[in-house]
Amino acid sequence: MLTKQLVENIIKGIQEKKGKSIVNLDITQLEQSIADNFIICHGDSNTQVDAIADSVEAFVKKELHERPLHKEGTQNSQWILLDYGMVIVHIFQKEYRDFYNLEGLWADAKIQTIEESK
């Protein structure tokens, strides 16, 4: 599976459910990086966070026939993590995104801001 295609389909899934403040962190050049990319976004409610995660899974399964290797956070939907190996998707509620500040923790990464769907 090509990382670029995976990233594109993840972003489409997020945009489909109007995920907010979408960023792609390229962490390939960082020492001891655990993946190639982190895709981060947030939703306004538990329901939206769940819907975004479901949409990402649906897009990736339909287009690339892949499922996440690991999935966490679906019990409370404050922070859902979808692990696709070299790409890890973080879908937060806004307050938890601000609190954990992954963009700040990985500030040395190359950060690409993705346009939200209209």
Looking at residue 83, which CATH number applies to its domain?
3.30.460.10
Checking if the pLDDT of 74 tops 70, the result is yes
Q: Does a structural domain hold residue 76?
A: yes
- 3-class DSSP assignment, residue 10: helix
Q: Does a structural domain hold residue 50?
A: yes
Number of domains, the chain = 1
pTM for this entry: 0.94
Q: Does a structural domain hold residue 91?
A: yes
Domain span at residue 12 reads: 3-108
* Band of residue 33 on the pLDDT scale cut at 50, 70, 90: confident
Number of H helices, E strands in the chain: 4, 6
Q: Does a structural domain hold residue 118?
A: no
Query: Could you tell me if 90 and 56 are in contact, meaning their C-beta atoms sit under 8 angstroms apart?
Result: no
Which residue type occupies 27?
I
Q: Does a structural domain hold residue 113?
A: no
Q: Percent of the chain at pLDDT above 90?
A: 85
